[in-house]
Structure 1
């Protein structure tokens, strides 16, 4: 797991208020939605799907062989904690009767599936087709604060068929030596994109996917924190712990180990 990194804060865009993407409590900037579909200049479709935790070689896809209208995709999360591992399954494609899918170029990287869906008109050639399924439904939400809690508007992941459906459901594993492992969904982010900043009360993190793909609108930026009270060994200050982190397949993993524990 990684240690201290230096971040050039001049590269961070201004992010007003406490706005986040409703698909992810920690996403503060960039394209929203669990899925994004848009029409390219050559009339093909670009499809982005967030599948955090799925390995780069762990996704499967196929085109409906009967009607050639829909792409089916699926994948499984790889975690040491098999009990909370997620399984994903979903579809994307055409919502019209005038086109058919002729091919799919798919790439899975850092918990994000990107597909170029080629299509051809089979009738009604005079009109440009703009119908596809499902539409881009990415939205913004606010944090609702009361005297006791800060709650975020967060949607369930529509393609999770097994396991936790919400990005704000971070998983915590406490080991026999007192160390704690916590994970967060940051789709598109790799280990080099992460900065973790602990203080005496909490562990903050900042993630920015520096590699912006050709058809993505921009980078995505994630910010969040976890209260040290949930992480500390009894009677041991947070900053006395050994804190390490890394990101794999779009999931940030932070390990907090008390002094003297086996933190390998």
Structure 2
């Protein structure tokens, strides 16, 4: 059955990033973490991107002393073409930033490299003035999308406002305590194969696509099954250029294999075997 890709929602803004936590994200909620107060229950919804971590490998606990924070951690699996020292371990926390509430329970689910938690709470300080508490930590979650200004190097335009270019600065994952902090890996192994991986948190393998041509390998991913408390789906779009080729061999003559697991797309580009004839 053929699959259709709807490209109409993907904005194209040259030189800018949609979300500075991911260079290939083109649409959807930004940031490595999202925290918001649910309107009806007053519980907290927490989304944390932990790409590479298996669905059953997440650990979490509530601070037993103050009942304010939920601590979470996990470790991704070792994959072909990834160095042992690049395997990521995550550790972080989220929860209440007030003195009037306490956490009473956590409902956590891990799927496709995304941890989603419903944090239940109860007000213990009845004298607090706020009827609906909105204090949580970290306070700036989900606001990724900043830009740095870069002045033109041409002296003729250094005082012109138009000479400033907005340059996206890709942020490192704040919850990585071991291993790489970037969302992309590139490595050429001793057998001549090129390994490439890119994080697509929340996207399952059925919703990732590879589109190779003579000049590049394009990839596309979309989490079509949007969780009920997520703002919208997320769309990722990018490409690997011809540097993945073996010297002197056209790109389409290579064996291009790919797989996806726990929100990580893995691509292997292998040169053809030598022709003994």
- Same structural fold, with TM-score higher than 0.5 when normalized by the shorter chain: yes
Determine if the alignment matches structure 1 residue 8 to structure 2 residue 12.
no
Query: Structure 2, unaligned stretches of length 5 or more?
Result: 154-166
Q: Conserved in 2, the CA contact under 8 Å of 1:207 and 1:223?
A: yes
| Aligned partners of 2:21 and 2:30 also within 8 Å | yes
CA shift, 1:14, in A, is: 3.9
Superposition deviation, residue 11 in structure 1: 6.4
TM-score under structure 2 length normalisation: 0.84
Aligned partner of residue 20 in structure 1, secondary structure: coil
Tell me the CA shift for residue 101 of structure 1: 0.2
Task: State the secondary structure of the residue aligned to 1:31.
Answer: coil
Select 2:33's aligned residue among 35, 38, 56.
35
How many residues align structurally? 251
In structure 2, what is the Cα distance between the partners aligned to 1:143 and 1:224?
22
State the TM-score, normalized to the length of structure 1. 0.88
The aligned counterpart of 1:83 is: 85
In the alignment, what sits opposite 1:52? 51
**Residues in 1 aligned to 2:145 and 2:250: alpha-carbon distance in whole angstroms:** 36
Instruction: Give the structure 1 partner of residue 218 of structure 2.
Output: 204
Q: RMSD over aligned Cα, in angstroms?
A: 2.3
Distance 1:165 1:178 in 2: 26
The corresponding residue for 1:157 is: 173
Pairwise CA distance, 1:6: 4.5
Among residues 117, 136, 142, which one is paired with 1:132 in the alignment?
136
Alignment of 1:13-28 (within 5 A): 13-18=9-14, 19-28=17-26
Q: Distance in 1 between matches of 2:7 and 2:250?
A: 33
The residue number in structure 1 matching 2:65 is 66
Cα gap change, 1:225 to 1:89, in 2 (>3 Å): same
Q: Give the conservation status (yes or no) of the 8 Å contact 1:27–1:221.
A: yes
From the superposition, tell whether residues 17 and 11 of structure 1 become closer, same or farther in structure 2 (CA, over 3 Å). closer
Greater Rg by CA: 2
2:206 counterpart SS class: helix
CA gap 1:16/1:171 in 2 versus in 1, 3 angstroms: closer
By how many angstroms is 1:189 displaced? 1.0
Contact 1:240 1:259 in 2 (8 A): yes
Q: Does 2:269 align with 1:256? A: yes
What's 1:118 paired with? 120
Q: Please give the per-residue CA displacement for 1:62-94, whole angstroms capped at 9, x wherever unaligned.
A: 000000000000111111332210111000000
User: What is the alpha-carbon distance in structure 2 between the residues aligned to residue 226 and residue 234 of structure 1?
Assistant: 16
3-state SS, counterpart of residue 65 of structure 2: coil
Shift of 1:228: 1.5
SS at match of 2:36: strand
How far apart, in 1, do the equivalents of 2:75 and 2:10 lie? 35
1:247 and 1:143 map into 2 onto residues whose CA distance is: 33
Q: Distance in 2 between matches of 1:14 and 1:206?
A: 11
